[in-house]
Amino acid sequence: AQSVTQLDSHVSVSEGTPVLLRCNYSSSYSPSLFWYVQHPNKGLQLLLKYTSAATLVKGINGFEAEFKKSETSFHLTKPSAHMSDAAEYFCVVSGYNNNDMRFGAGTRLTVKP
């Protein structure tokens, strides 16, 4: 069985400051890990994914995430927040079968001017 835990339901940062959204996973085998973003009234957009290649994964809009097996973590970071980053972010773990995609509860990112 696999699961993800997003450690913060809500993160608030000021524009121009770093963003850290935390995700821990549990999986009985080597997982694939994803971050999706959902802007208000929009669908789920893929930010980045990890599939057992480089442990530091770069995504769109300046986001990146680092896979740390020893810590079972896949935290999402961005050096400098932009107002347009305000959205809901979902960490997702997937196994061999895409049906096994398990979503975290989501983290709402607020960016203050």
When asked if residue 35 is in the footprint of another protein (CB under 8 A), the reply is: no
User: How many CB atoms neighbour CB 26 within 10 A?
Assistant: 13
Tell me the CA end-to-end span of the chain in Å, nearest whole number. 41
| CA dist., res. 82 & res. 78, Å (int) | 10
| CA dist., res. 97 & res. 94, Å (int) | 7
Give the nearer residue to another protein in terms of CB position, either 13 or 76: 76
| CA dist., res. 2 & res. 13, Å (int) | 30
Segment near another protein (CB under 8 A), from 15-23, 61-69, 77-85, 94-102?
94-102
Among 2, 32, 72, 77, binds another protein (CB under 8 A): 32
Among 68, 105, 110, 112, binds another protein (CB under 8 A): 105
**Chain residues that interact with another protein, rule: CB under 8 A:** 30, 32, 34, 36, 41-46, 49, 51-52, 90, 94-99, 101, 103-106
